[in-house]
Copies of this chain bind each other. A is one copy, B any other.
Amino acid sequence: MEETKISDKRDYILDVAERLFAEQGFEAISVREISKAADINIAMVSYYFGSKEKLYEDVINRKLISSDTIAKSVGQHTSSMDKLFAMVDLYIEKFFERRLFQNIIFREMAMNQRTAMAEKIAAQVHKNFLLAYDIIQTGIDNKEFKKVDIELTVMSIIGIVRMYTTSGTMACKILKVEDESEAFGKKQKDRLRKHLRQLLINHLGIESK
């Protein structure tokens, strides 16, 4: 009972910190700003997390567990095309839902810094990459797909979704939508899904039935 309240509060602080770290970066944001935005006393950050660095790690670790989710979602389908599309849908879903978090992940990946965390992130992303790789490889072996550069095809899928979700302002400008909440609404999500499916159908030479 009290337990849940405490972990609610912890979670709330993590939410606030995630947003601020994502928008401005680790070094750009101070624990003062975080505690102010979360409406807690500054000393509470040390109390709950130990340090700013630890808080940052907790923000990342909290959401860096999946890839089982992908495997599970993919496993329900039989054809390579269905598997690939299930994976793409999940990617879009997760990226839209967690676009602030993804911002942190890709920023870390772009750095040659903070290596302990960076290694962990790279390992996780690579695991997800391999899942996608296997799906396409199997599809090619099956003759469901044309032969393509598999590595670059997977990177392209991720790059496209990433481009959309982690450049909010740019996406708004290009798509001529009012604000970010519209850019990440259902309509635009469906649009991106449709585009990406069509692109893959064309690229992999998938025949419609």
**Which chain B residue has the least Cβ–Cβ distance from A24?**
B113
Q: Which residues of B contact A152 (CB under 8 A)?
A: 160, 164, 191-192, 195
Q: From A129, which residue of chain B is reached at the shortest CB distance?
A: B174
> Are A170 and B27 within 8 A (Cβ)?
no
State whether the Cβ of A166 lies closer than 8 Å to any Cβ in chain B. yes
A161 to B126, CA, bound (A): 19
CA distance A154 to B23 in the complex (A): 25
Determine how many copies of this chain the complex contains.
Answer: 2
In the complex, which of the residues B24, B122, B163 contacts A173, with contact meaning CB atoms closer than 8 Å? B122
Q: A118: CB under 8 A from chain B?
A: yes
Which parts of A153-170 form the interface with B (CB within 8 Å)?
Answer: 153-156, 158-164, 166-170
Spell out A's residues near B (CB within 8 Å): 23-28, 103, 106-107, 109-113, 118, 122, 125-126, 129, 148-149, 151-156, 158-164, 166-171, 173-175, 191-192, 194-195, 198-199, 202-203, 205
> What 9 pairs between A and B have smallest CB-CB spacing?
A159-B163, A27-B27, A27-B28, A152-B195, A159-B159, A202-B202, A149-B195, A159-B160, A156-B160
